[in-house]
Amino acid sequence: MRLTAFFSLAVAAAATYAAANNNQDPFQQWSGPNAGDVRGPCPFLNTFANHGFLPRSGKYITEKDLTDGLFNAVHFNANISKFLFDFAIRTNPEPNSTWFSLDHLSRHNVLEHDASLSRVDAFLGHADIFNEQAFEETRSYWGDTVNAKNGADAIVARMKTCKKTNPQYSLSELGEAFILGETAAFISILGDVKSLTVSKRLVEYLFQKERLPTELGWKRPDTPFSTDILLENLDKVGAEYAKRINSTSQGKRSAGYAARIFSYSARLF
Ligand code: HEM
């Protein structure tokens, strides 16, 4: 065989091999829900289902599905997946269930709360579906880099808007702590877990497309993410949030939101 022909064959074989591997790589494999599939109010869990890290149907998610899925997608360790799973199964209307579906998470005031970053309040519409206007308000408070300070600005702004526009606005202590945890989580997972900063582009991409932003250069974190890290970062966002709430008429708050989540979960389980 001539040398050039050999090289052409080798290049073609390598390309086929790379394409085949790409086809099996869940980070590259994305497809939105099909008829009969369910999604919910959490942009991240929806994203993981869209990549096949969780069942694509969005249904019957067991603790093993969640643990494997969150490990493979974003390097969560088993303790944080168990921590989140124990909250999630509370949303399944069937008592003592061992699984949940993404649409169960939409049940208002179980975990789903008012004043979301990218959804309208349940009283005003579909609290489980991305809402451009709500998200527009949120991101107008973020700089090119999202951090604990401008993350807290966005949270407080959404709370004020929802309070003004929703006559049935309410937020439980758990809901408030979850809001802080959600911002801490998306910054930690998409950005730098230590400095708690992330490029706004990555966050917008995920919220708007419900897809992991690998084409913008995001990679699965190298270091495992745990409950301790989540709660530590939640309290960093909580400290900024408390400063803002305490300077308005919304009532005094002390920090220590992580402890609140723990005491709440201890009462539940
Ligand atoms: C079993 C695991 C999880 C459960 C049960 C869960 C549950 C929820 C629920 C119920 C909401 C809706 C809250 C609302 O706005 O009313 C939500 C929103 C959210 N979740 Fe998750 N989630 C999980 C995992 C994650 C992970 C791994 C992340 C990643 C970093 C994440 C980030 C977020 C964010 C940023 C929001 C806020 C969306 C918004 O306010 O528009 N969640 N999640």
- Assign 3-class secondary structure to the chain: CCHHHHHHHHHHHHHHHHHHHHHHCCCCCCCCCCCCCCCCCCHHHHHHHHHCCCCCCCCCEEHHHHHHHHHHHHCECHHHHHHHHHHHHHHCCCCCCCEECHHHHHCECCCECCCCCCCCCCCCCCCCCCCHHHHHHHHHCCCCEEEHHHHHHHHHHHHHHHHHHCCCCCCCHHHHHHHHHHHHHHHHHHCECCCCEEEHHHHHHHHHHCCCCHHHCCCCCCCCECHHHHHHHHHHHHHHHHHHHHCCCCCCCCCCHHHHHHHHHHHHC
Return the CATH number at 101.
1.10.489.10
* Domain contains 17: no
Question: Which of 182, 188, 265 is the best mutation target for the ligand 1 pocket, counting ligand atoms within 8 Å of the beta carbon and taking the most?
Answer: 182
pLDDT at 246: 78
- Whole-number pLDDT of residue 16: 45
pLDDT, tens digit, for every residue of 100-140?
A: 999 999 999 999 999 999 999 999 999 999 999 999 999 99
The answer as to whether 22 is a domain residue is no
User: Is 11 part of a structural domain of the chain?
Assistant: no
Q: Is residue 216 part of a domain?
A: yes
Query: Which residues are within 8 A (CB) of 94 and not within 5 positions of it... i.e. 6 or more apart?
Result: none
Block mean pLDDT (10 aa), the chain, length 269: 51 47 84 98 98 98 98 98 97 96 97 98 96 98 98 98 98 94 98 98 98 98 97 96 78 62 60
- Is the residue at 13 inside a domain? no
pTM confidence score: 0.90
Give pLDDT, residue 260: 67
Instruction: Name residues contacting ligand 1 (CB within 6 A).
Output: 41-45, 66, 70, 84-85, 87-88, 105, 111-113, 116-119, 127, 182, 185-186, 189
Measured by CA distance, the residue closest to atom 37 of ligand 1 is 182
Q: Please report whether residue 37 resides in a domain.
A: yes
Q: Looking at ligand 1, which residue's alpha carbon is closest to its atom 34?
A: 182
User: Is there a domain that residue 48 lies in?
Assistant: yes
The structural domain count of the chain equals 1
Which residue is closest in CA terms to ligand 1's atom 27?
Answer: 44
Q: Separation of 2 CA from ligand 1 center, angstroms?
A: 58
Domain limits at 92? 31-268
Q: How far is the CA of 113 from the centre of ligand 1 (A)?
A: 10
The ligand 1 atom nearest the CA atom of 119: 41
Asked, for residue 15, whether it belongs to a domain, the answer is no
Residues contacting residue 193 through CB under 8 Å, at least 6 positions apart: 221, 223, 225, 229, 233
Query: How many A from CA of 244 to the centre of ligand 1?
Result: 23
